[in-house]
Amino acid sequence: MSRPQSAEIKMIVQTIMKILECKSSCVSEDLVAINFPIEALQNHLHLDSVDGVRAIGICRMGGIGKTTLSMALCEQICHQFSASCIIEDVAKKFRLHDDPLDAQKQILLQTIGIKDHQICNCYRATNLIQSRLRHERVLLILDNVDQVEQLEKIAVHHECLGVGSRIIIISRDEHILKEYGMDVVYKVSILDWNEAHMLFCLKAFKDEKIIMRNYESLAYEILDYANGLALAIKVLGSFLFGRNVIEWKSALTRLRESPDNDVIDVLQLSFDGLKETEKEIFLDIA
């Protein structure tokens, strides 16, 4: 049997490295209720098909777990692509720089290895994306998009990518995803009672159940307050870990008077993303 050529060896090594990178998780190990949505997203992505490019959207309110879900999904499927790229918090990048260049540079670096100093402006970056990525099968995830113009300026369209590529766009606004032409929009569900209970226990007790009876009624009150919102459950559970019953009661009292800042910050982003008329309607309802 003849020995593999150097190019073949290099390709084998790159494939193995991609698999190992995907398996070395940076996503929290205490994920709850993640298997069903990941399976649903994989079905929507049609990963077995290499005909054309497919784009899906992930939406719902802030703090529900959209980003966590997409990161976990990426780790499971990234080895099926020649390259993958995650652009975190697209909306924030545009607030800081008011142009797509930072996001475009990141895409070009993570997919085809073009360094920052080789890209001087958006025109050059857009041309590289449109000319070079069409030969690659890539997985591209854009997180927290709050305006359709952001997607248009980044300029990553179906026709820019090689066959078999997949685009995942995460937004609180379903209208943005539909306007940009997603093949499917997946709506993330809030946690049901059992899922919320397990996640809270993992954060508050480092266990899958309440390990001390005198905390049980307090835990249920906190879960009622969190109402299935994953971020609220994580923040509250982590804060209460290791504290005594008196401190739990005090925390509940404070929550009723002034909700936790970490939760409010995320919900505030959702509110800020609304148009002025929508804000007025929301405040009237509240």
> How does pLDDT run across 101-146, given as a tens digit for each residue?
999 999 999 999 988 777 889 999 999 999 999 999 999 999 999 9
CATH 3.40.50.300 in the chain: give the residue spans: 6-187
For domain 6-187, give its CATH number from 3.20.20.70, 3.40.50.2000, 3.40.50.1000, 3.40.50.300: 3.40.50.300
Here the tokens at position 203 are 């954060």
Q: What is the pTM of this model?
A: 0.78
Q: Summarize pLDDT for 10-23 with one digit per residue, the tens.
A: 555 555 555 445 54
Read off the pLDDT of residues 48-62 as tens digits, 9 standing for 90 and up: 988 899 999 999 988
For 255-281, what is the HEC assignment? HHHCCCHHHHHHHHHHHHCCCHHHHHH
- What are the residue ranges of helices labelled H in the chain? 6-23, 35-45, 66-77, 90-97, 101-112, 122-132, 148-154, 174-180, 193-204, 216-226, 230-240, 245-257, 261-272, 276-285
The whole-number pLDDT of residue 219 equals 92
Task: Give the tens place of pLDDT for each residue, 213-267.
Answer: 889 999 999 898 888 988 888 888 888 898 999 989 988 888 777 666 666 655 5
For residue 167, report the phi and psi dihedrals to the nearest 5 degrees.
-120, 130
Directed axis angle between helix 66-77 and helix 6-23, to 10°?
150
The pLDDT of residue 244 is 92
